[in-house]
Amino acid sequence: MIRLEHINKTFSDKSGLIHAVRDVTLRVRPGEIYGIIGHSGAGKSTLVRCVNLLERPTSGQVWVDGVELTALRAGELRKARKKIGMIFQQFNLMAGRTVFQNVAIGLQYSGLSRAHIRERVERLLSFVELEGKANVYPSQLSGGQKQRVAVARALANEPRVLLCDEATSALDPQTTQSILSLLQKLNRELNITIVVITHEMSVIKKICQRVAVIEHGAIAEENEVLGLFANPRQQVTKDFLYTTSSLSGVYPLVREDSPVVRLKPGEVLLLMRYGTTQVCQPLVSRMSKQFDLEINILFGDLEIIEGAPMGGTAAIFHGTPENIKSALKFLEAEHITVEVIRDARMA
Ligand SMILES: Nc1ncnc2c1ncn2[C@@H]1O[C@H](COP(=O)(O)OP(=O)(O)OP(=O)(O)O)[C@@H](O)[C@H]1O
Ligand SMILES: [Mg+2]
């Protein structure tokens, strides 16, 4: 449905040349929900804007639904773009227009009669569960409702593809879930292919089948979502996976200097993360015995991805400096990723 071939995009500004997208080649299959995840500045928005040529690639080709957009003239491109809907983090609704008018905007020059437009807008508002809101203004809506209006507007021209640029990033977790469910519904019921841009792995996990991780404008890794969770190859991917885990709850405690993470002299607070093979072993109890340590577990997390466990532990280690050092060596030998969060060994 979408085919990007060797897409590059550079911007030049005062500080020089910015290579925002680097040689990206990817395919999105018909009916798929495809995720693109990356840190801020990785080039996600630029890349997705290259799909509908809101941003013209510096080089490379873009194909959507069998048509090479990069070869079209302005008039043809305008027409082709109607088959690609887009929603944004900030909704981009027109504040001076009602919900009805916002949804109907794209139908202005469609040649549809007023009655047809009314009928279609009403059907769309019912699809996004906003019946009864046709005559209110965006300022009278919650964030989630605004995004529903934006979805209805994006669907007005019956697109084959929907591009979502951080569509849930301005919403609370519960509203995020309801918008993600809406995206799933339009994917299944209207057979719309979706590209989801996000910096949250939880979004990818909830609705995507495949995902590309982008870093510095290039694809660092691409995989089925389950494959990515089971076998992340790049560090950037691992970092994203860990953000979905409850282990990251240790960081705010440290920032607030919570009593839970206050150390006695000689103690150290460690975050250990392990992949699929190590987690089956009783590492903590083994270290405790072997190195005569007291280990106080603060957080533990375990996820089963395709039958294989993956997780980690945040714990305070209490023991002699030599024994703690030996335990760290032991963890390293077991290929466990260790992060020293707090260290009172010199205290
Ligand atoms: N119009 C522009 N002119 C100059 N530089 C730009 C322009 N648009 C984007 N960039 C630069 O390109 C790089 C990628 O930006 P982009 O907005 O695509 O990142 P992103 O992954 O969407 O980030 P975020 O998660 O913060 O939205 C950044 O270094 C950005 O400053
Ligand atoms: Mg962006």
Residue 174's pLDDT is 95
241 lies in some domain: no
Domain of 291, in residue numbers: 246-343
Residue 312's pLDDT is 83
Q: Are residues 215 and 305 in the same domain?
A: no
Binding pocket residue ranges, ligand 1, CB within 6 Å:
11, 13, 18, 20, 38, 40-46, 199
Protein residue whose Cα sits closest to atom 29 of ligand 1: 41
Centre of ligand 2 from the C-alpha of residue 43, in Å: 7
Centre of ligand 1 from the C-alpha of residue 281, in Å: 44
Contacts with 5 (C-beta within 8 Å, 6 or more apart), sequence order: 25, 60, 61, 62, 63
Q: Are residues 146 and 255 in the same domain?
A: no
Q: Are residues 213 and 302 in the same domain?
A: no
Most ligand 1 atoms within 8 A of CB, residue of 7, 8, 18 to mutate: 18
Contact indicator for 247, 271 with CB cutoff of 8 Å:
yes
The minimum-distance atom of ligand 1 relative to the CA of 214 is 21
Burial class (CB in 10 A: 0-12, 13-18, 19+), 240: buried
Give per-residue pLDDT as tens, 222-263: 999 888 877 788 888 888 887 777 787 888 899 899 999 999
- If you search the block for the tokens 């200097």, which residue do you land on? 257
**β-pair type (33-37, 210-215):** parallel
Where a domain ends, among 232, 260, 278?
232
Q: What is the CATH number of the domain that holds 258?
A: 3.30.70.260
Q: What is the CATH number of the domain that holds 102?
A: 3.40.50.300
82 lies in some domain: yes
Q: Starting from the CA of residue 199, give the closest ligand.
A: 1
Centre of ligand 2 from the C-alpha of residue 44, in Å: 6
User: Which regions of the chain are under pLDDT 70?
Assistant: 275-280, 304-309, 347
87 lies in some domain: yes
Handedness of CA 268, 273, 278, 282 (dihedral sign): positive
Protein residue whose Cα sits closest to atom 11 of ligand 1: 20
Task: Provide the 8-state DSSP code for 171.
Answer: S
Q: Are residues 50 and 182 in the same domain?
A: yes
Q: Are residues 115 and 217 in the same domain?
A: yes
Centre of ligand 2 from the C-alpha of residue 133, in Å: 29
d(CA 217, CA 98) in angstroms, rounded, equals 38
Residue 306's pLDDT is 54
- Say how many domains are in the chain: 2
Where a domain ends, among 168, 201, 232?
232
Where a domain ends, among 207, 232, 257?
232
Q: Are residues 154 and 254 in the same domain?
A: no
Q: Are residues 222 and 254 in the same domain?
A: no
239 lies in some domain: no
Centre of ligand 2 from the C-alpha of residue 148, in Å: 20
Helix (H) or strand (E) holding 176: helix 173-189
Q: Starting from the CA of residue 16, give the closest ligand.
A: 1
Contact indicator for 287, 256 with CB cutoff of 8 Å:
no
163 lies in some domain: yes
Q: Starting from the CA of residue 38, give the closest ligand.
A: 1
Q: Starting from the CA of residue 22, give the closest ligand.
A: 1
Query: E-assigned strands of 104-240?
Result: 161-165, 193-198, 210-215, 218-224
Q: What is the phi/psi pair of residue 223, to 5°?
A: -165, 170
DSSP string, 226-293: HHHHH---SHHHHHHHHHTSGGGGHHHHHHTT-GGG---TT-EEEEEEE-TTGGGS-HHHHHHHHTT-
